[in-house]
Amino acid sequence: MFKVAALYKFHSIENPLSVRHMLKSNLDNNLVTGTILIGKEGLNGTISASIKDIKKAISIIKSIKGFDDINIKYSKSKIKPFTRLKVKTKEEIVTIGDKKLDPSINSGIYVEPKDWNSFIAKDDVLLIDTRNNYEYSIGTFKNSINPRTNNFREFPNWVKSQKFSNKDKKTKKVAMFCTGGIRCEKATSYMKKEGFKNVFHLKGGVLKYFEDITTDQSKWIGECFVFDDRVSLDHNLDEGSYDMCHGCRMPITKQDKESKYFIKGVSCPACFASKTDEQKSRYMSRQKQIDLAKSRNENHIGPK
């Protein structure tokens, strides 16, 4: 069994390269896998290891100045959800396309998971899912608005397309959520920059909501997409029912896999027609290498 930690904090980092070097030097690539992004605005990542090794890794991350209280959500996985550890520096640790935003200084008001149900039930609350369209498609909160974005960078354009009036910005209560809390926190910073006065977000995101709220009290419908090999989680934070098309990286159902357009590691009904013969040939070759590695009880790492 592997322990998975999704973590982030918006906090100024003077020298991201120095922090990257420290983490690369102190985290054992053979024991800890996942991705950690470091930028001047903070740190964002999801890592996995045994319970013993995840504790060591979290201790190392918390030793970074200002990150002793970093936001962490835990879940578990029967399979190894990542193949290797990647530690990268980025201009934005979650990309919205506006480098001037600073959620550590100006962001919305946290709503604790225990207060979320009653808060979003209010008639004057506009509930917005800040995740991508394919994430929304497999699960979301009842009555939430889907901006139909393909990536988080498209969120500002969606907000502008709604043509909110000055009155809307002053009077509407906007509540936003995402998987682990980082996207909705940055989204609140953007909304406040755009003049919205009453902006709120789910503290810890959907993962923390699943952790704190029992299934019988839940207002969540469906499963929650996660960016690792588990693909989705149910309300008990167990691996869900979805698989992933490795041709387009979209979640797929058991029914999708029964389609004649589903080719393992190559395509699914949604992307089969858009893939060229050259792409399909390349993906088939990659899948053969993956299958060969599995038959040898090895991990297929692929290109870095």
Confidence of residue 304 (pLDDT cuts 50, 70, 90): very low
Average pLDDT over residues 85-95: 97
Average pLDDT over residues 102-122: 97
Co-location of 170 and 77 in the same domain: no
**How far apart are the C-alpha atoms of 245 and 164, rounded to whole Å?**
37
Answer yes or no: is 43 within a domain.
Answer: yes
Out of 27-31, 185-189, 273-277, the most confident range is: 185-189
Does position 303 have pLDDT exceeding 80, yes or no? no
Average pLDDT over residues 282-297: 80
Answer yes or no: is 11 within a domain.
Answer: yes
* CB neighbour burial string for 196-221, b if at least 16 within 10 angstroms, e if fewer: bebbbbbbbbbbbbbeebeeeeebbe
Strand partners, 198: 173
Answer yes or no: is 236 within a domain.
Answer: no
Residue in the structure block whose two tokens are 């578990």: 76
Co-location of 52 and 9 in the same domain: yes
Model pLDDT, residue 246: 86
Answer yes or no: is 234 within a domain.
Answer: no
Q: Report the relative pairing of strands 109-111 and 198-202 from DSSP bridges.
A: parallel
Domain that holds residue 59: 2-89
**How far apart are the C-alpha atoms of 248 and 193, rounded to whole Å?**
34
Answer yes or no: is 209 within a domain.
Answer: yes
> Position 145: which residue type?
I
Answer yes or no: is 103 within a domain.
Answer: no
Domain count, the chain: 3
Co-location of 211 and 247 in the same domain: no
Answer yes or no: is 23 within a domain.
Answer: yes
Residues carrying an active site annotation: 178
Co-location of 172 and 76 in the same domain: no
Answer yes or no: is 19 within a domain.
Answer: yes
Co-location of 217 and 161 in the same domain: yes
Co-location of 167 and 209 in the same domain: yes
**C-alpha triplet 77, 78, 80: angle, nearest 5°:** 75
What DSSP letter does each residue of 220-274 carry, written as one string?
EEE-EE-SSTT-EE-TTSSB-S-EE-TTT--EE-HHHHTSTT-BTTTB-TTTGGG
User: What secondary structure letter does DSSP report for 68?
Assistant: T
Model pLDDT, residue 294: 67
Task: State the CATH number of the domain containing residue 146.
Answer: 3.40.250.10
Residue 45 main-chain phi, psi, to 5 deg: -175, 170
Co-location of 207 and 279 in the same domain: no
Q: What share of the chain is helix, strand, coil (3-state, %, to 5)?
A: 35, 25, 45
Q: What is the pLDDT of residues 22-70, one digit of tens each?
A: 999 999 888 999 999 999 999 999 999 999 999 999 999 999 999 999 9
Co-location of 117 and 210 in the same domain: yes
What is the percent of the chain with per-residue pLDDT over 90, rounded to a whole number? 87
**HEC-encoded secondary structure of 157-221:** HHHHHCCCCHHHHHHCEEEEECCCCHHHHHHHHHHHHCCCCEEEEECCHHHHHHHHCCHHHCCEE
Average pLDDT over residues 253-270: 93
Residues 6+ away with beta carbon under 8 Å from 251: 134, 137, 138, 225, 231, 232, 242, 243, 244, 245
Average pLDDT over residues 105-113: 97
Model pLDDT, residue 189: 98
Co-location of 77 and 113 in the same domain: no
Angstrom CA distances, 141 to 131, 137, 146, 178, stand at 12, 11, 10, 10
Task: Please report, in angstroms and rounded to a whole number, the separation of the first and last CA atoms in the chain.
Answer: 26
Does position 112 have pLDDT exceeding 50, yes or no? yes
Model pLDDT, residue 173: 96
* Stated pTM of the model: 0.90
Task: State the CATH number of the domain containing residue 52.
Answer: 3.30.70.100
Co-location of 123 and 76 in the same domain: no
Does position 7 have pLDDT exceeding 60, yes or no? yes
Average pLDDT over residues 224-245: 94
Does residue 206 contact residue 158 with C-beta atoms inside 8 Å? no
Average pLDDT, rounded, for the chain? 94
Classify the C-alpha dihedral 170-175-176-182 as positive or negative.
Answer: positive
Count Cβ atoms below 10 Å from residue 78 Cβ, excluding itself. 10
Co-location of 211 and 115 in the same domain: yes
Co-location of 114 and 212 in the same domain: yes
